[in-house]
Amino acid sequence: MTPPARGAAPAPRTGGRGVALVLALAAAVQLVAALPALRAALLAARGAHAAAQAPEGAPGPWQPALLAARDLPPLLRDVPADARVLLVGGSAVPVAWDAHVAPRPLRVLLRVDEGLLARAAREPGLQGPLAAWRGHLVRRELALTPARLARELPRHDVVLAFQLDPAELAPAAAQAGVTLHPLATHGSATLLAVRGP
């Protein structure tokens, strides 16, 4: 068929009201389907906004990401751009740490709860992503061990203890021959300066 030219008015035609009626009914059904979805989307957005303001109450795996977005930038505001940052995290959940700490060089060590990972791996469909995440942890040597922490502490200027009691870092600091001086705390994160012996 030859389509009408762009902008030209379609030829008037009698009949075809049935088609328009069926389409109108479909549109009405869509409205019924869309209203709960729109309400849910608005509530989700409001929930995400509220969670961003107060992440402690946020459920699920997004909580560490929200906590990091809220707590890391204020602590880093006065840290020089060339300061070497060691972030020690209390949970092995992927977070955009680099984006928050940039432009400072960053090293991350995370406490890995093998039991939690094993339980998560039993969830249907999670094996693949977890295997990829575990591979990343191994390749990057991100798992927190006393020896690794003691080795990394003297190489950095400041430490960010995230979702972790800073006192837990003391034995490794003593082993490494450095002292950690708390500078500031914001929510779930504490900033500590690393001083040599």
Partner 1 sequence: MSLALVPLVLATQGLAGWLVLRGLAPDLARRWTAAVPRALLLGPAALALQMLALEAAGRPLSLAWVLGPWWAAAGLLAWRARTRGAQALAPRGPEVRGPAHLAALALACVLGGLALGTGLLQPLVAGDPVTNAALVGRVVATHGRLDAAALQALQAPAFAAYPPLVAFNEALLFRAAGESWARAALPFFALAQLALLLLLVEACFERLRPARALPLALALLLAPTLATGGASGYFDERFAACVLLLGLTLRELDERPDAGRAALAAAAALGCALTKPQGLVPAVLAALLLALRLGRGRLPARAALPALALLAAGVAAWPLLAGARGVHTPPDLVPHWPGVHEALARTGAALDCAARVALPPAPGAFAAWGLAWPLLLALSAAALARRATRAAAALPLACAALHLLAYAGLAACTQLDVDWLLATGLPRWLLHLLPWLLLAGATALEDPPE
- Edge-first strand order for the sheet with 85-89 is 106-110, 85-89, 158-162, 189-195, 179-186
Of the two residues 11 and 147, which places its CB atom closer to partner 1 in the complex? 11
Cα 181 to Cα 45, 141, 173, distances in angstroms = 39, 26, 11
Candidate segments 17-25, 150-158, 160-168, 173-181, binder of partner 1 by CB under 8 A? 17-25
* Using rule CB under 8 A, residue 14 touches partner 1: no
Residues 6+ apart with CB under 8 A from 115: none
Each residue 87-126 as x (binds partner 1 by CB under 8 A) or -, in order, gives: x------xxxxxx--xx-xxxx---------------xxx
In a 3-state reduction of DSSP, which class is residue 83?
coil
Give the ranges where 13-123 is alpha helix by DSSP (H): 17-53, 63-76, 97-101, 114-121
* Using rule CB under 8 A, residue 11 touches partner 1: yes
Q: How far is the CB of 64 from partner 1 (least distance, A)?
A: 8
Q: How far is the CB of 177 from partner 1 (least distance, A)?
A: 25
* H/E element, 86: strand 85-89
**93 within 8 A of 65, measured Cβ to Cβ:** yes
Of the two residues 137 and 179, which places its CB atom closer to partner 1 in the complex? 137
**116 within 8 A of 134, measured Cβ to Cβ:** no
Q: Please give the residue ranges that form the binding site for partner 1 (CB under 8 A).
A: 1-7, 10-11, 13, 16-17, 19-20, 23-24, 26-27, 29-34, 36-38, 40-42, 45-46, 48-49, 52, 61-62, 65-66, 68-69, 73, 77, 87, 94-99, 102-103, 105-108, 124-129, 131-133, 135-136, 139-140, 142
